[in-house]
C-alpha cells in the first residue's frame, strides 16, 4: 500500500507540524436513519474534519495496542468519549456494527493514506458518564459458517 510523501514524512519525523487523525465510520441497520442517515462518522480530533465532502464529528478516542495472543484473533478495546446522541446510538445497537477506519493527515484529509480497514464493533457498554467502551476486532472470519450454507446455487451461481 502506497502512502503519500507527506504522510511518510509526518510519521518518520521526530516532530511534525502535521497531525495524523483517524476517520471512523460506524454503520449498522439499528441506527436511526432520521438521525444517522449515513451512519456515525467521527474523528479523533478537537475540531470537525471534512474528508471527501463528508464531515466527521470530533470525539475523544483511546485505542491501546491489541493483545498479542496467538490463540485468538486480535481484539482492540476502544474508549469513545462523545456527545450523548452518539453514546445512545452505539448502546442501542444489538449486535456487531461495521466500523471502517482510515488514517489521514490533517493538512490533506481527502488523501486516505492508511485504510480503509473494515472491522466489527461489539460489546459496547458505559464507562463513566461520558464514555463508552467497546471491542473492535477484524471481521469475524473465524466465526463464519463455511462451507455449509455458503456454496449454494443461490449464493454462488457461477460455481454450479
pLDDT at 114: 84
pLDDT at 8: 83
pLDDT, tens digit, for every residue of 14-41?
777 788 888 989 899 888 888 888 899 9
* Burial zone of 143 (CB within 10 Å; 0-12 exposed, 13-18 middle, 19+ buried): exposed
pLDDT at 149: 60
pLDDT, tens digit, for every residue of 47-105?
999 999 999 999 887 766 566 666 766 667 777 777 778 888 888 888 888 888 888 99
pLDDT, tens digit, for every residue of 119-158?
888 878 777 777 777 777 765 555 555 556 666 677 667 7
Q: How confident is the model at residue 1 (pLDDT cuts 50, 70, 90)?
A: low
Q: How confident is the model at residue 11 (pLDDT cuts 50, 70, 90)?
A: confident
Residues in the chain: 160
Helix (H) / strand (E) containing 10: helix 5-12
pLDDT at 118: 83
Count: domains in the chain: 1
pLDDT at 6: 84
CB 105 within 8 A of CB 19: yes
Distances, alpha carbon 66 to alpha carbons 14, 20, 76, 86, in Å: 24, 20, 5, 24
Q: Which domain holds residue 25?
A: 5-159
pLDDT at 147: 59
Amino acid at each position: 500500500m502506497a502512502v503519500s510523501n507527506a504522510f511518510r514524512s509526518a510519521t518518520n519525523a521526530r516532530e511534525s507540524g502535521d497531525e495524523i487523525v483517524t476517520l471512523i465510520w460506524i454503520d449498522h441497520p439499528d441506527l436511526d436513519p432520521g438521525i444517522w442517515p449515513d451512519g456515525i462518522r467521527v474523528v479523533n480530533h478537537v475540531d470537525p474534519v471534512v474528508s471527501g465532502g463528508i464531515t466527521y464529528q470530533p470525539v475523544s478516542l483511546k485505542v491501546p495496542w491489541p493483545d498479542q495472543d496467538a490463540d485468538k484473533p486480535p481484539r482492540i478495546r476502544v474508549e469513545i468519549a462523545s456527545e450523548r446522541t452518539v453514546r445512545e446510538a452505539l448502546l442501542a445497537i444489538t449486535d456487531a456494527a461495521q466500523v471502517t477506519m482510515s488514517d489521514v493527515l490533517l493538512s490533506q484529509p481527502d488523501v486516505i493514506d492508511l485504510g480503509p480497514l473494515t472491522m466489527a464493533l461489539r460489546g459496547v457498554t458505559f464507562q463513566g458518564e461520558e464514555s463508552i467502551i467497546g471491542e473492535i476486532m477484524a471481521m469475524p472470519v473465524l466465526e463464519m459458517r463455511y462451507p455449509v450454507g455458503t456454496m449454494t446455487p443461490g449464493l454462488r451461481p457461477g460455481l454450479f
